[in-house]
Structure 1
Amino acid sequence: MKFNINREAILVPLQQIVSVIEKRQTMPILANVLMVIENNQLILTGTDLEIQIIAKINITAATPGTITVPARKFLDICRLLPAGTEIKLEQQGDKVKILANRCRFSLSSLPAGNYPEFAESELEKKFSINAGKFKKALDKTLFCMANQDVRYYLNGLLLNISNSKLKLVASDGHRLSIYEDTLDQSTGYEARIILPRKGVLELSRLLDDPEAELKVEFSSNNIRIFIGHLVFSAKLVDSKYPDFGKVFQQELGNPLHIQKQLLKDALTRVAILSNEKFKGVTFDINADSLKISTHNPEHDEAEEELFIEYTGEPLSIAFNAQYLLDAVSNLDSELAVLTIANNASSCFIDEPNDCAYKFIVMPMRL
């Protein structure tokens, strides 16, 4: 294997791939990036066996071959070279020689034949979607995913396709986010799959071109997404997502309208003195005012009063301040609408106009 490449041509694809490679590996070769040269293309592959990213770069005057090199070391070498540098890479036995300007590097390599294959079943379902639209859907929901919950189906994101309708749902059991949109073309099928947490975070990071068109293929076990020169693959969470529809079937109280920025600022200030572990704040809601208050084990107290539009019965309810902040920050309008269920089991947060997404936060007992 032998090729020349400009630093800029390899740096971004290498950065995109290295992020899926875990620092601690069960197999040493998983810390490496697989490099294959065929048909005047350099194909880079990185995986942790749950997620895989493949990048394809067009090159000329290259000698075909395959090898694996330590991913982070190779990235650091490329990253720290001056902009515009021409990199020459050549395989010599079990070493890879890298020449750039007056720099010389020699990296230990491992044979490509030992690189594990990413097992994928046949991906029979397909749809296309604009990258900007899909990234917005991911970003409006992913913050609600659980992290290392024993209910492992919550450590991911539900993707629901119903003909031309797209729905994304995430929940950690204390809050829920739902985003709904329509696809440009009908798919002709119904499907529910759960994308793994790490895959969702990686995918959101990779969707940096809002104009790109994504081609999505999936089965009940795997998903593959074509993003420009990249191919993203992930194993899906093998479980059934809980039925969240019942939360919408309860009777709701009168909505409370409040300026989004005022609520965010007040919550941020009051939460300074909340219990560090639970972040609890109390809402005392009256006809024209909302009092937000908190206290902590050190007997510190904070309180702030806001003017609101509300016509319902007075009530007092407590929430995790961070959960409310996350939800309110993801609204696009200047006005936030909070609607509390009559049995005080949940609070719906959305916009005054019919919007594509809803957030639901469960109250706390303080």
Structure 2
Amino acid sequence: MKATLERTELLKSLTHVHRVVERRNTIPILSNVMLQAEGGELKLRATDLDLEVIETIPAMIEVPGATTVPAHMIYEIVRKLPDGSQVVLEASGDDTTLDIRAGRSRFALQMLPTSDFPDMTAGDFTHAFVIPAGGIRKLIDATQFAISTEETRYYLNGIYMHAVEADGGVKFRAVATDGHRLAQSELPAPEGAEGMPGIIVPRKTVGEIQKLLEDPEAEVKVELSETKIRFTTGPIVLTSKLIDGSFPDYGRVIPKNNDKELRVDRDVFKEAVDRVSTISSERGRAVKLALSEGKLVLTVTNPDSGSATEELMVEYEADDMEIGFNSKYLLDIAGQLSADAALFRLADSGSPTLIQEDGKEDTLFVLMPMRV
């Protein structure tokens, strides 16, 4: 194998694929990236057995062939090569090392045979549709923060995606929850998504998709079955196993009859919560919201360090009430809102609260209260 290509192109591609590879592996081949040179292209492939990323880049191929080398090592080498240089990748005569040359720099990396490299491409995909990258990003950005990190409830360690009949037709919906908060976002279902199985996309896959979808205008082909999902955008193909489990009936925790409405300027509210929570303890993080007509008072009390209060002018006309929330969760949700005003629908101090952007129905958040 012998290939010559631009250092910039190779580095960009290695940046995408090497992230999948775990730094500590008991199986040596999983530490490697597979390089396949043929037909004027170099294909890079990396996997951790749950997730696989393939990227194809143009290259001058003198001798076609394939090999595997340590992923993080080749990434670091190429990253440190001079900008604008031409990189030559050439397998040694005895096929034990890959020579990497650029200018006066030369490296030799140990190779492992491609026959040992696992392949995740087998199996049929039952549904396929095309969706703008911006749409996928919107769904992920709005829900990712609510993914549970509790390994025992593994079925909450991802985003639940499914097609659902809703007002105005079929929606493609994403939901995540950790039991304390829930995030839901949706957009009109693309053609081909109707009847798709409900799937749970793992946290690591979600993070990689976010990083790979750099151009919001690009089109993404999504293929899925009950066990796998594949995203294809331009020269990049990401294939992932899905979480094998049943997502809970999240509809039961979304309040329907919360009749107390609070409207507040998003930025003013976010900054006020951030200020008063400076006092809160790492364990507690509780902030109390005291509501009366036209007024909201935020209070944090920490027995070890003191207290903080801040008063805001708001739109609120219902009965006086007090309710407590985890300040970090409030800030996480406020960070997802893009409209100027946030709408809180409340019931009482012990019931979940519904939070939305004022005037927008496609994204909602549910937050469980805390005792304060």
Q: TM-score range by the shorter chain?
A: over 0.9
The answer to whether the 8 Å contact 2:270/2:334 transfers is yes
Give secondary structure in 2 for the equivalent of 1:150. helix
Give secondary structure in 2 for the equivalent of 1:348. strand
1:141 matched to 2:143: yes
Give secondary structure in 1 for the equivalent of 2:331. helix
| 2: CA distance, partners of 1:275 / 1:364 | 14
Give secondary structure in 2 for the equivalent of 1:83. coil
Q: Residue deviations 1:38-95, cap 9 Å, x none?
A: 2332110011111100001122333111111111111111111121100111111211
One-letter identity of the residue aligned with 2:162: N
Equivalent pairs, count? 366
Report the Cα offset of residue 278 of structure 1.
3.0
1:70 matched to 2:70: yes
Q: Which residue does 1:81 correspond to in 2?
A: 81
> Which residue of the other structure, out of 157, 160, 168, is the alignment partner of 2:159?
157
One-letter identity of the residue aligned with 2:273: L
Give secondary structure in 1 for the equivalent of 2:342. strand
Deviation >3 Å, runs of 4+: none
User: 1:25-36 counterparts in 2 under 5 A?
Assistant: 25-36=25-36
Q: Residue deviations 1:218-245, cap 9 Å, x none?
A: 0000001101100001000001110111
| 1: CA distance, partners of 2:357 / 2:61 | 56
1:353 matched to 2:355: no
Report the Cα offset of residue 184 of structure 1.
4.3
Give secondary structure in 2 for the equivalent of 1:106. strand
Q: Residue deviations 1:271-323, cap 9 Å, x none?
A: 11112123111111111211111122414111111111111111111100010
One-letter identity of the residue aligned with 1:43: K
The answer to whether the 8 Å contact 2:345/2:353 transfers is yes
> Which residue of the other structure, out of 319, 324, 329, is the alignment partner of 2:325?
319
Give secondary structure in 1 for the equivalent of 2:21. coil
Q: Which residue does 1:198 correspond to in 2?
A: 204
Q: Which residue does 1:275 correspond to in 2?
A: 281
User: 1:1-366 counterparts in 2 under 5 A?
Assistant: 1-92=1-92, 93-118=95-120, 120-162=122-164, 164-185=170-191, 187-342=193-348, 344-366=350-372
Report the Cα offset of residue 109 of structure 1.
1.4
The answer to whether the 8 Å contact 2:5/2:58 transfers is no
Q: Given the two structures, how large is their TM-score scaled by the length of structure 1?
A: 0.96
The change in CA–CA distance for 1:144 and 1:188 in structure 2 (over 3 A counts) is closer
One-letter identity of the residue aligned with 1:47: T
Give secondary structure in 1 for the equivalent of 2:254. helix
| 1: CA distance, partners of 2:174 / 2:27 | 34
Structure 1: state its 5+ residue gaps. Answer: none
Give secondary structure in 1 for the equivalent of 2:159. strand
| 1: CA distance, partners of 2:68 / 2:84 | 24
One-letter identity of the residue aligned with 1:88: V
- Identity of counterpart residues, as a percentage? 36
Give secondary structure in 1 for the equivalent of 2:69. strand
The answer to whether the 8 Å contact 2:36/2:66 transfers is yes
Q: Given the two structures, how large is their TM-score scaled by the length of structure 2?
A: 0.95
| 2: CA distance, partners of 1:35 / 1:305 | 60
Report the Cα offset of residue 111 of structure 1.
1.3
Report the Cα offset of residue 190 of structure 1.
4.0
Report the Cα offset of residue 343 of structure 1.
6.6
| 2: CA distance, partners of 1:69 / 1:6 | 19
Q: Residue deviations 1:240-283, cap 9 Å, x none?
A: 11011122354212210111111011100111111212311111
The change in CA–CA distance for 1:61 and 1:50 in structure 2 (over 3 A counts) is closer
Give secondary structure in 1 for the equivalent of 2:151. coil
The answer to whether the 8 Å contact 1:275/1:295 transfers is no
The answer to whether the 8 Å contact 2:255/2:352 transfers is no
RMSD: 1.5
The change in CA–CA distance for 1:67 and 1:344 in structure 2 (over 3 A counts) is same
| 2: CA distance, partners of 1:188 / 1:140 | 22
Q: Residue deviations 1:95-149, cap 9 Å, x none?
A: 1111110111111111111112226431111111000111111101111101133
The answer to whether the 8 Å contact 1:349/1:359 transfers is yes
Report the Cα offset of residue 342 of structure 1.
4.1
The answer to whether the 8 Å contact 1:97/1:104 transfers is yes
